Structure 1
Amino acid sequence: MTNPAEIIPGVIFYTYLSTERKARVGFLAHNTLVLQVSGHFTLETSVQKITMSKGEMLLIGKNQLGQITKTPLPGEDYETIIISLQEDLLRTIALEERIEVLPKYVGPPNVLIPANDFLRGYFQSVMPYVRNPTETITNEIGLLKVKEAVKLLLHAMPRLGSLLFDFSEPYKIDLEKFMISHFHYNIPVTEFAELTGRSLAGFKRDFQKTFGMAPRQWLQEKRLTEARALIEKQKKPSEIYLDLGFESLSHFSNSFKNKFGKAPSEWSLRRV
């Protein structure tokens, strides 16, 4: 099966993997519910690292940068069901259920959901959609499954309402602190701007004032400088290029050589 397969367009996705994979996810735009069918799932952000096993559920908050590692266990495949809780659907639910404006959510952005009989039943109810991917499922049915998921989450953990139904616009955050913590994510400059609560023009203007150069130039310089430091600590180029936001090993090697005059492998040898 392809990875991921879209079972209900824009709502439910099914992930199947038979070998370990580390994915630089980048921008996690929507609230997302992840149901772990088999294998291990690890989400790592700048503030949290969470691992799930078979039968566990995780609610991922929107507007984050993160990396996911998907690991099958011996004798079984890796499987997850991913339910996207997109804002337009949540707004519809809030209107239909007459949910009032809730206090600002102050908990962790990613929350493991304690299992109970109702959530286990929901888990099982989603499986037929996954096991029959060729069936045509309407958006109306998809919306019903999302509504059910939201209501059961609120039943299990009422405080999550403040996370799910937060429709406020992102506010400006400390640009320098954010970029130093997240420079290694390979996402467009437009998404960095959104995550820091700025328009693209405002982001570029504030970036120039803060760092004295354009975003793309600074990102390249920062990533290559970090790469050199890691190589000097005997890290292999093939082990680090993805984690530093480079799309391919050849792209990384060429950029490194243009910056420092030697290929990464040659730089490593000069330190021996």
Structure 2
Amino acid sequence: MTNPTEIIPGVLFYSYYSSSRKEKVAFMEHNTLVLQVSGKFSLVTAGQEWSMSGGQMMLVHKNQLAEITKTPADDGDYQTIVIILKEDLLRQIALDEHIDVTRKYNGPTNVLIPGNDFLQAFFQSLLPYVKHPDEQITHAVGMLKVKEAVYLLMNTKPELREFLFDFSEPHKIDLEKFMRANFHYNIPVEKFAQLTGRSLAGFKRDFQKIFDMAPRQWLLDRRLEEARHLITNKNRKPSAIYLDLGFESLSHFSHAYKKKYGVAPSDTLPVGEHL
């Protein structure tokens, strides 16, 4: 999530946007509960695509890359409450409740939570915090609300225990398949290593064996190849694609593109067009 209001720093966020906003990269490091107040929240990961509107809730699993689109309601409002379920809190709850933490979660990475009276009441109880973000809320009070969310989730869907209390590290996955599917995400190489279940040194070593070049150079080349394909074969404008391909600015994209292909992206002609 980008630039939310922090009701409780690092734990409970509230975001408000009055126009449509798309975030190409969101690294969901922790299990996260998203409560939609108004507007539409859409989330796309490597394996799933979900959307929800006002009054719905979603639990998002940790260690994921996601594309998020936020669309205001017809009245122009978009409001979301985001609760970060950090591992230290979940470990404490597991100890308190004698929960088995040895099982690895293998279910869906994102789960829509069915509404009930208890969750709706919890949802309503957060709105005063949202309406008065400038008032100082103690960390202890905030953590009580987060704990309440965890207990209500377990009560609503007992099978979420494995989801919430899976403390295993990401398993070592197919690096080539993962990188070809996620090259467009603008995240540090260290995050790619983490998401593929490797140390940074192990990631670089495996990457070199597979692609015969360093990760940063391969990422740049792959993004530029995709850019050229979109411009020449899909008639896409450079200004419409550079962010989606992991470039931080249009000028950075244009400079790298011209260096590789000898022509600016704005001067690249679509297939079938001639000077």
State the partner residue of 1:243. 244
Q: Would the aligned equivalents of 2:231 and 2:270 in 1 still touch at CA under 8 Å?
A: no
Summarize deviations over 1:29-70 as a string: whole Å, max 9, x none. Answer: 010000000001000111111011010001000000011001
The corresponding residue for 1:40 is: 40
Equivalent pair of 2:101/2:167 in contact (CA under 8 Å):
no
Return the alpha-carbon distance in structure 2 between the equivalents of residues 271 and 143 of structure 1: 60
Q: 2:219 matched to 1:234? A: no
Distance 1:270 1:113, change over 3 A: closer
User: 1:257 aligns to what?
Assistant: 258
**Deviation at 1:100?**
1.8
Q: Which amino acid aligns with 1:267?
A: T
Residues 135-214 of structure 1 mapped to structure 2, 5 A cutoff: 135-214=135-214
Separation of aligned partners in 2, 1:51 and 1:194: 27
Provide the secondary structure at the position in 2 that maps to 1:158. Answer: coil
Equivalent pairs counted in the alignment come to 271
User: Would you say the 8 A contact 2:243–2:249 is kept in 1?
Assistant: yes
Task: Output one character per residue of 1:173-215: Cα deviation in whole Å (capped at 9) or x when no partner.
Answer: 1110110011000000000011111111111111101100000
Percentage of identical aligned residues: 65
For the 8 Å contact 2:30–2:87, the answer to whether it is kept is yes
- Report the alpha carbon displacement of residue 269 of structure 1 after superposing the two structures with TM: 5.6
Q: CA deviation at 1:271?
A: 4.8
Provide the aligned C-alpha RMSD in A: 1.3
Q: Secondary structure at the match of 1:77?
A: coil
List runs of 5+ in structure 2 lacking aligned partners.
Answer: none
1:102, distance to aligned residue in structure 2 (A): 5.5
- Alpha-carbon separation, structure 2, partners of 1:99 and 1:118: 22
Q: Residues 38 and 76 of structure 1 are in contact (CA less than 8 Å); yes or no, is this contact kept in structure 2?
A: no
Partner of 1:94: 94
CA distance in 1 between counterparts of 2:168 and 2:220 reads 32
How far does residue 77 in structure 1 lie from its aligned partner after superposition? 1.0
- Paired with 1:21 and 1:234, the residues of 2 have a C-alpha distance of 23
Letter in 2 for 1:115: G
Query: Structure 1, unaligned stretches of length 5 or more?
Result: none
- State the one-letter code of the partner of 1:54: G
User: What's the TM-score, normalizing by structure 1?
Assistant: 0.96
- SS of 1:268 mapped into structure 2: coil
Contact 1:25 1:66 in 2 (8 A): yes
Do the aligned partners of residues 15 and 40 (structure 1) sit closer, same or farther apart at CA in structure 2, a change above 3 Å counting?
Answer: same
Superposition map of 1:120-139 within 5 A: 120-139=120-139
Q: Which amino acid aligns with 2:81?
A: I
Normalised TM-score (structure 2): 0.95
SS of the equivalent of 2:191 reads: helix
User: Contact 1:43 / 1:51 at 8 angstroms: preserved in 2?
Assistant: yes
